[in-house]
Amino acid sequence: MALDNVEKVVPVTEALGNSSIANQAGKIVPETAASGKGKEVVGHSETVPSPGQPTSAQPWKDLFAPSKNPDSSLEFFQPLLVDGVLRAKPTPEVAVKGAEEWENSIVAFLVGKKLPGNNVKGVLERKWSQVGNFSFHVVGNGVFLVNFANGQARDWVLENGPWDIWGYHLAVRKWSKDMVLALEDCKSIPIWVKLTRVPVQYWTKLGLSYIASVLGKPLHMDANTTKRHALSFARVCIDMEATSSFPDNIILELDDGTTTTIGVEYPWRPASCTLCKVFDHSNKTCPRAARREWMPKPQVLAQRKPDDVEGWITVKRKGSNQEQVQEHNSLEVP
């Protein structure tokens, strides 16, 4: 056998260098192709499709199929045509079932500071995890929706406020489907208030409701007030309007016709705008407020002409801006 017809056998690693490896099919693939960075396969003209590119057996629509999330599929419902405009009209059951998923939720408004949702979630997990698990959802800037596993955990959070995030007030309110989930449109906000000098006979659910209604819409009491552990003050959460004057006292008319004064203390008083009637900003920063800038009064000496010599005045004709001769304003002694 002639040696010229014998092919020289070269080790694969020597032929391709250290940058090649063998795939599971036994084909020699450069390391860059095996790692997904290259496209060519040694010894073949075929190319490896890049990630996300469909093959002949994989249509484009399969790339968008929910492979691992079966709950993500949607359905088509015929919209209504009203006055030439298409309109969506779900059945009443859609809203009812959707509201049931959020019935144990609260809405949290972070007032005075904009913080990332992850930071707020971390703080709330440390504060509220003792009562159960919850899901955290960012609605908008400073507005969050917290969904608890049961109503008991939700009520515990509502009744044990006030809450804060890094010193900034977190106003919480029970979610309802008619709520406005935007702080800039929030015209009322729940505020914890201390009521002092409350007569004992009015230390009831009805009595405190009458008293707190002077400030706004009473929502609930804290646990100590409900159990009446201490009668020095009652702590009540009240939904107060942005236009409220936040009075320091309430006049209570007793059953005999006399009156007494109930003290009101606000552990936290929000900044509100009485022009826009919202809590998103104060009157000082309101874009609708008229701006007043201080302007210094012009000095008389600054208006004086340089050719006016002390003791002389410039005389002008009536109805004319032409200057005449200067006259001395002092009397001469003959």
CA distance 238 to 102: 23
Domain 187-300: assigned CATH number: 3.30.70
More confident: 95 or 312: 95
Question: Per residue in 260-311, pLDDT tens?
Answer: 999 999 988 776 666 665 555 556 666 666 555 556 666 555 555 555 555 5
- The strand pair at 105-110 and 312-316 is best described as unpaired
Domain 98-185 belongs to what topology? Answer: Alpha-Beta Plaits (3.30.70)
Contact 205, 195 (CB under 8 A): no
More confident: 113 or 226: 226
In angstroms, what CA-CA distances link 181 with 18, 135, 190, 235? 60, 17, 14, 26
Span(s) in the chain for CATH 3.30.70.330:
98-185
pTM above 0.75, yes or no: no
Share of the chain above pLDDT 70, in %: 60
More confident: 70 or 321: 70
CB atoms within 10 A of CB 141: 13
Q: Is the dihedral of CA 304, 308, 309, 315 positive or negative?
A: negative
Cα 36 to chain centroid, rounded: 42
Structure confidence at residue 10 (pLDDT) = 47
